[in-house]
Homo-oligomer: A and B are copies of this chain.
């Protein structure tokens, strides 16, 4: 469980690092970034996971996410993994929405994907152990968020692991892969056509099937080009209403799907997580 430091830069009083390691889950080298705020010797800090969307690596949010000032203020470690395995041995698809950059946070069962595309195990099991072993992280205080495909990842991972995350939020999440073209393509490819198996990778289905979060914050831009066809925030609104689950789902007027949207609301999300992680 050794990690190699790719780079570190002092930022907002803390250290923004990029690291790589050989992953057992994906059978590849994986890169991730971690921001550790300034802290007292031996102090352990809460951890906020950020799962990225289609086409992204760790770098997009690290450069454009504008989370460091808020994480420094609240004393929260920010972890940003990659979105898929990478490398010449890893199969790929011509589309931006399947294969590399599009792991969908599932453990693939279909060939040729099953060997490497195990992002569920990577994010749920392997990377948390690495983070716990290598950073001043208080793993009893974890929150999770993400954008688009990463919002789907945050919601489903949190719903499937009750109690692990004290706080869950998302930016413009895919709320139901069962009900959108991105989900149809990716889940058919990674885990096959039998849709009953998709339900554990579908936030709305998980809630329908009884999973619950203590609370939830979602921001969604009204000018997001993917809202109507892919994201379908209304399905999540319906699911949390039906389940009488506490949730704040906010439609943000005029915002699109980009990091200009994410960075606008990032500080609020970090503060919202901090309230729950430091309660």
Q: Which residues of A contact B (CB under 8 A)?
A: 9-13, 16, 63-64, 66, 68-69, 221, 223, 254-256, 258-261, 263-264, 267
Contacts and interface: CB of A to CB of B under 8 A. Distances in A.
A12 B254 CA distance: 11
B223 A10 contact: yes
A16 B260 contact: yes
A164 to B, nearest CB: 30
B69 A10 contact: no
Nearest to A259: B63
Contacts of A63: 63-64, 259
A68 B265 CA distance: 12
A10 B64 contact: no
A223 B8 CA distance: 12
27 contacts: A9-B256, A9-B258, A9-B260, A9-B261, A10-B221, A10-B223, A10-B254, A10-B255, A10-B256, A10-B260, A10-B261, A10-B264, A11-B263, A11-B264, A12-B263, A12-B264, A13-B264, A16-B260, A63-B63, A63-B64, A63-B259, A64-B64, A66-B66, A66-B69, A66-B263, A68-B263, A69-B267
Contacts of A260: 9-11, 16
A8 to B, nearest CB: 9
A267 B73 CA distance: 14
A47 to B, nearest CB: 20
A11 B66 CA distance: 12
